[in-house]
Every structure is written in structure tokens, then in C-alpha cells.
């Protein structure tokens, strides 16, 4: 296939499935932790290392593996990553000892970068007119994969056992790796360079593009709000509302509202400058945070807060990540690597600082923390806008996901 024709709808659907399944292994174990712990004869709180291993693997992949998308053939790299991920999931299904299981979780996290590689590849090869819709669809699939993986893994673990869940998703991932290869569009790879040279050039790329730095920090501030909320929601709901893990898990369905955020971002970008769209999302999050601080831990307030937070964060990610990929499509994978590394760092900081706020101030702290994160992101937006043009953000041209 080449980039002179529109992407067929059935190919986009296949890309979306591959993107969702590629990122899902990061969270499969979260809903099945109790079942996994029981099979190894351990208390569930002894499995904290699974999340640590998976997240460390994924974080390492963003830094060390994602840039490879600009250097190697997409038809070799993306299917290869999916096939290796499928094999790893099958190995997780049969491993008999916990230390091996932890190592395999780290490997699964490392190989869960396929979706980000696919997003960057589409930024290079799609027609400019269809690029926003395609990237928006893939981002929605990425969010849906994380959400549905938690829900379906929990249900599947109860009915067929956690090992069969890993067995099933391993087979499906292998199948997607085979099916997606013929439909991948090729872009001219960058001139071959050594791996160490490539990593050194990442720093140079970061230094060269101030727009990349600003967009990444804005997105990281908003994602810190979401991570701080979800990382501490369960413990806070248990201690203040006496909710069970199952009741808290139902709140994950509020994330369904965020699946349409990329399309919302495209719509807003057509109606106003992207800076104004980010400002609108930030204002919505700050407003609901202040209302929540006044109302407290009422169930309806929690739901409204979760929905607003998820829509705001995902919309800002769609707006900023699309602009990052448009800075230089030929370097999309390397730019995406830098963007997602900062984004991921924001998640870690948010989980930690949100926990501090929740521990000392309860629901008040969690609400205010999200508002402060949004204000920080808007502050970076305001400073960068003044430096770029000295004009009001509302004076910018209205072009959906235009190049910086």
C-alpha cells in the first residue's frame, strides 16, 4: 500500500484492533491480581511488583524502542513486536513460578509499544486530509484497549481462569500480528545510523523543537491529574465509602465517556484555535474540581468528576500529540517517543503527588490536586503562547490539527 490513496475503512478497523490489543497487556493483571496471587499461594498485596515490572517495561520501550520506528521497515517492526507480544502472553499463561511471571510482565510491558509505533507510522503515511481522523481513531482504540482490558480480564478471570485469559489474548495478538502486516504502509526510513547515535540524537531533537517540549509538558500536567485520581481512587473509596473492589471497579465504566475525546478534539479544533480548546478543557477540569471540593465524596459528584477529568485529559492528549506528530512526519516515531516519555513521567508524578494529597486531605485533596495540575498545564500554555506570538490564543487560524 502507499500513501497516495485514502486508508480503507477495513484497514483502519484492523489498525484499531492492533492498537487496542497492543497496549492492553499493560493492565491485564490489574483485574486478575487476586486470582494470580491465589494460584501462587500469596496475598494479593504481595503482587505490587507486577505493576512495577509492567510499567517499567513500558516506560523503557517509550525511550528505547519507539524511536526505532523511524529507522526500520514498518512491515518488519510492527508485526514483529505484535508477534513477540503474543508469544510472551502465551508464556505468561503457562509459567509455573512467580519470578518468571514478573520478568515476563516486564517483557510484555516492553512489547506493548506496538500501538504507539502504529500511530506514528500513520502520521507519516496517511494523507494530510485524513490524518486527524485516523490518529483520532487510533487514540480512541488505545484508550478503549486500556479500559476494556481491565473489565474483560476481570470477568474472564472469574469465568475461565486467569491463565486461559492470557492464552486467549495471546492467540488473538499473534493473529493480529499476522493480519496487519500486508496492510502496513511503508515510509522511507531515515538513513541508517547506530543505535547509540540514535539515542544521542534524541536529546538533540528535544533541544531543537521548543514546540515539542511545551506540548509534552502541557499534556503531562493534565495526565498527572488523571493518574493521581485513578491511582488513589480505590483506597479512598474503601476508607471513606466502604466500597468493595468490585464497586470501585465499576467506576472504570466512566472512562467510556472519554473514548470520543479525539473526535471532540477535532471538532473543537475546527471551531477555535487549539490553544483555546486546551483552555476550555482546563477550565472545565478546574471548575469541576472546585465544585467537588465543596461537595465532597458524594457518589454523583465522584462520577461527574471522573467523566469530566477523563474527557479533558484525553482531549488535551489528542490535541497535543497530533501536533507533535505533525512537527516532522519523517521523525514521527522519535518525536512520539519523547512526547510519550514526558507524558509517562507526568503519570508517575501524578500518582505520587495525588497520593500525598489524598492521604492528608482526603477527597478535598484529590479534587484540588486535579485542579492544580490543570492550572499548571494552562500556565505552560499561556507562557508558550506569549513567547510564540504575543497575541491572544483566540487570534490563531482555525485549522484542525495543523502543523505547528
The reply to whether 2 falls in a domain is no
H helical segments located in 209-331: 210-241, 245-250, 261-271, 274-295, 299-327
Same domain, 82 and 144: yes
DSSP structural state of residue 41: T
How far is 321 from 330, CA to CA, in rounded Å?
15
Distances (CA, A) of 252 to 223, 263, 273, 403: 16, 21, 31, 34
Question: Whole-angstrom Cα distance, residue 336 to residue 72?
Answer: 16
Give me 236's grid cell.
479512598
**Contact between residue 104 and residue 88 where contact means Cβ atoms under 8 Å apart:** yes
Residue pair 19/145 in contact (Cβ under 8 Å)? The answer is: yes
Do 244 and 132 have their domain in common? no
- The reported pLDDT for the residue numbered 393 is 44
Q: Is residue 52 part of a domain?
A: yes
Q: Is 190 left (phi over 0), alpha (psi -120 to 50) or beta?
A: beta
Number of domains in the chain: 2
pLDDT of residue 221: 94
Look up the domain containing 184 and give its range: 9-192
355-366 as b/e: b if 16+ CB within 10 A: bebbeeeebbbb
| pTM over the 0.85 mark | no
Query: Which residues are within 8 A (CB) of 268 and not within 5 positions of it... i.e. 6 or more apart?
Result: 276, 277, 280, 315, 319
Picking from 192, 220, 240, the residue at the C-terminal end of a domain is 192
169 inside domain: yes
96 shares its domain with 220: no
> Is the domain of 285 the same as that of 344?
yes
Decide if 378 is inside a domain.
yes
CA 367 to chain centroid? 22
The whole-number pLDDT of residue 403 equals: 40
Q: What is the distance between the alpha carbons of residues 374 and 50, in angstroms, rounded to a whole number? A: 30
What DSSP letter does each residue of 161-219 carry, written as one string?
-HHHHHHHHHHHHHHHHHHHGGGPPP-PPPPP--HHHHHHHHHHHHHH-HHHHHHHHHH
Residues 37 and 169 in one domain: yes
Residues 184, 370: Cα–Cα separation, whole Å: 39
pLDDT at 400: 46
DSSP summary character for residue 251: G
Question: Do 121 and 257 belong together in one domain?
Answer: no
C-alpha cell belonging to residue 319: 490535541
Whether residue 3 is contained in a domain is answered as no
| Residue 320: alpha-carbon gap to chain centroid | 13
Q: Please, are residues 54 and 110 in contact by the beta-carbon 8 Å criterion?
A: no
Look at the chain and count its residues. Answer: 404
Does 216 share its domain with 170? no
Shared domain check, 35 and 181: yes
The verdict on residue 152 lying in a domain is yes
Select from 153, 362, 150 the least CA-distant residue to 249.
150
CATH of residue 85's domain is 1.20.1250.20
Question: For residue 108, what are the contacts with CB-CB under 8 A and spacing of at least 6?
Answer: 25, 26, 54, 57, 85, 88, 89, 92
DSSP for 331-376, written as a single string: GHHHHHHHHHHHHHHHHHHHHHHHHHHHHHHTHHHHHHHHHHHHHH
Structural domain contains residue 401? no
63 and 212 share a domain? no
Q: In the listed set 192, 224, 255, which residue is the last one of a domain according to the structure?
A: 192
Same domain, 242 and 368: yes
Helices (H) and strands (E) in the chain, counts: 17, 0
Q: What is the pLDDT of residue 6?
A: 82
Task: Report, as ranges of residue numbers, the positions in the chain whose pLDDT lies below 70.
Answer: 1-4, 44-46, 48, 188-194, 231, 234-235, 238, 244-250, 252, 387-404
- pLDDT tens digits, one per residue of 206-219: 888 889 999 999 99
pLDDT score, position 383 = 85
Q: What are 364's three cell numbers?
A: 478535598
> How do residues 63-104 score in pLDDT, each as one tens digit?
888 888 877 888 899 999 999 999 999 999 999 998 999 999
What is the structure's pLDDT at 50?
80
Q: Is residue 197 part of a domain?
A: no
Residue 258 is placed in which grid cell?
Answer: 472519554
Cell numbers 486508508: residue: 7
Amino acid at each position: 500500500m502507499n500513501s497516495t490513496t485514502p486508508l480503507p475503512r477495513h484497514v483502519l478497523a484492523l489498525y484499531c484492533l492492533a492498537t487496542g490489543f497492543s497496549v492492553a497487556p499493560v493492565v491485564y493483571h490489574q483485574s486478575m491480581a487476586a486470582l494470580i496471587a491465589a494460584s501462587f499461594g500469596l496475598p494479593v498485596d504481595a503482587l505490587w511488583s507486577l505493576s512495577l515490572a509492567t510499567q517499567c517495561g513500558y516506560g523503557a520501550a517509550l525511550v528505547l524502542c519507539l524511536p526505532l520506528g523511524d529507522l526500520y521497515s514498518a512491515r518488519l517492526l510492527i508485526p514483529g513486536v505484535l508477534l513477540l507480544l503474543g508469544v510472551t502472553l502465551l508464556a505468561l499463561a503457562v509459567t509455573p513460578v512467580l519470578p518468571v511471571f514478573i520478568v515476563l510482565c516486564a517483557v510484555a510491558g516492553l512489547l506493548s509499544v506496538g500501538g504507539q509505533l502504529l500511530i506514528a507510522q500513520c502520521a507519516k503515511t496517511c494523507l494530510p486530509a485524513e490524518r486527524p481522523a485516523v490518529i483520532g481513531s487510533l487514540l480512541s482504540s488505545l484508550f478503549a484497549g486500556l479500559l476494556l482490558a481491565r473489565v474483560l480480564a476481570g470477568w474472564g478471570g472469574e469465568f475461565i481462569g486467569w491463565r486461559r485469559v492470557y492464552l486467549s489474548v495471546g492467540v488473538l495478538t499473534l493473529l493480529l500480528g499476522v493480519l496487519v502486516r500486508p496492510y502496513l504502509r511503508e515510509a522511507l526510513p531515515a538513513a541508517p545510523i547506530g543505535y547509540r547515535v540514535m539515542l544521542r540524537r534524541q536529546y538533540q531533537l528535544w533541544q531543537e523543537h521548543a514546540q515539542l517540549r511545551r506540548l509534552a509538558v502541557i499534556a503531562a500536567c493534565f495526565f498527572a491529574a488523571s493518574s493521581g485520581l485513578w491511582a488513589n481512587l480505590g483506597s479512598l473509596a474503601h476508607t471513606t465509602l466502604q466500597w468493595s473492589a468490585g464497586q470501585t471497579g465499576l467506576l472504570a465504566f466512566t472512562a467510556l465517556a472519554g473514548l470520543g475525546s479525539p473526535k471532540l478534539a477535532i471538532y473543537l479544533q475546527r471551531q477555535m484555535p487549539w490553544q483555546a480548546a486546551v483552555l476550555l478543557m482546563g477550565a472545565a477540569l478546574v471548575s469541576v474540581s472546585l465544585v467537588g471540593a465543596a461537595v465532597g465524596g458524594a457518589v454523583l459528584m465522584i462520577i461527574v468528576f471522573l467523566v469530566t477529568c477523563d474527557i479533558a485529559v484525553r482531549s488535551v492528549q489528542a490535541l497535543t500529540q497530533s501536533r507533535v506528530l505533525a512537527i516532522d512526519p519523517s521523525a514521527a516515531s522519535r518525536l512520539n517517543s519523547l512526547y510519550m516519555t514526558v507524558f509517562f513521567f507526568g503519570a508517575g508524578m501524578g500518582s505520587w503527588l495525588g497520593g500525598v494529597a489524598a492521604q492528608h486531605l482526603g477527597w478535598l485533596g484529590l479534587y484540588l490536586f486535579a485542579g492544580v495540575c490543570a492550572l499548571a498545564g494552562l500556565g505552560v500554555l499561556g507562557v508558550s503562547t506569549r513567547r510564540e506570538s504575543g497575541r491572544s490564543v483566540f487570534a490563531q487560524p482555525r485549522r484542525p490539527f495543523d502543523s505547528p
